[in-house]
Amino acid sequence: MTRLKGTIGILTGGGDVPGLNPAIRAVTIRALREGYRVVGIRRGWEGLVSMTRDKKADNSASYIDLTEEIVNRLVRTGGTFLHTSRTRPSHIPKDNVPDHLKEKYSDSVNDLTSEVIDNLSWLGIQYLIPIGGDDTLSYAAHLQKEGFRCVAIPKTMDNDVPGTDYCIGFSTAVTRVIKLTHDLRTTADSHQRLMVIEVFGRYAGFTALLPTMAGAANRCLIPEHPFCMERLTELLMKDRKANQSSSAVVLVSEGAKTESGEMLFKSNEKDMYGHRKLGGIGDYVSTELKKLSAKHNNNRPIHNVNQRLGYLIRSGDPDALDSIVPMVFGNMALDIILKKRHGRLVSIRKGQYDDVPLDIVTSFKKVVDVDKYYNAERYRPVFKSFEGKSLLVMTSDI
């Protein structure tokens, strides 16, 4: 019987994207064949906060031992079968502290990092592979500094994790935005309307900019540059006039800002990472566009199609790129562990697979370089100087 080399943990945090299950499968199969036990942590960091260190306790909601049979059965599905959450163990509100820890942690906000480390040790986990965006991975970097060995995999359809050109989920998101925008354009064309489509992108506008570059829309609004409604209306009305179908389309990032510099939020409530829930910029643009369009149409407002794509672009099965990249990222994470390295983030840099220090995720914000890639006067991508750029053009942070 082969002696067990150790135990590797894996978790998924933050928003779901297509490609997570292929990454979990890649890690699991490679690790099992290398002689490791693999433990899947359920519900992201929450699973490591809420479990009870008692062999007799039912911790099935917090972790599961992974097998080839389990991961092979679920690899072709979207989302994450391990489930996810937006838990931040270093900032747990009093009401979210698990019942069995309430006497120990009673502050309004509590740091449960010591519980996380103790729970990982109790499970026998020597290395943890967190898969997530900058929020999930910022806590992984914190955990690494506290002495626990982490090797991270970047995922987010916003593609805004520093240190990598590509994050799991981005290709599928862009593909869906392009397809759904083309599909919706048939309605705009049929009714000779303007169309406002809101897509994800809190701080980075890649999911609006790249589809526009691919021809899905006439204009796009991104978080990195404030927009003027009068100017946007003028441009879209010119686009509509130049189109024989008398329609025009604008893609709007959810984090796009008006000239006041303010994002629009649904409420003042914040998650554990300090983010308020965004919502309403597409509705605002749609309402204002209808009113302002009358100035360019003999005082008759142009109706518009207003659609928030939302979860449609993050649901369902992964595309080809989000099936291949997670497989490579998962195997790279195991390569790092087999070399007894840690504190690393697997990445793609200038088109090549690589790894970088994990703490890069907290070093800067990865956003669109407006000077290079966005025509701020015309609200559209810059279509020049592609030589030497990465495959997805403006997604490199170097």
Band of residue 268 on the pLDDT scale cut at 50, 70, 90? low
CATH architecture of 172-313+369-381: 3-Layer(aba) Sandwich (3.40)
Fold match between 6-168+316-362 and 172-313+369-381?
Answer: yes
Band of residue 295 on the pLDDT scale cut at 50, 70, 90? very high
Residues 134, 158, 239, 322: which is the catalytic one? Answer: 158
**pLDDT for 213-250, tens place per residue?**
999 999 999 999 999 999 999 999 999 999 999 999 99
What amino acid is encoded at 121 in this protein? S
Band of residue 131 on the pLDDT scale cut at 50, 70, 90? very high
- pLDDT averaged over every residue in the chain: 92
User: So what's the pLDDT on residue 398?
Assistant: 47
Q: Is 111 a catalytic residue?
A: no
User: So what's the pLDDT on residue 245?
Assistant: 93
User: So what's the pLDDT on residue 393?
Assistant: 73
Q: Which CATH class is domain 6-168+316-362?
A: alpha beta
For the chain, the structural domain boundaries read 6-168+316-362, 172-313+369-381
**pLDDT for 158-167, tens place per residue?**
999 999 999 9
Percent of the chain's residues with pLDDT above 70: 94
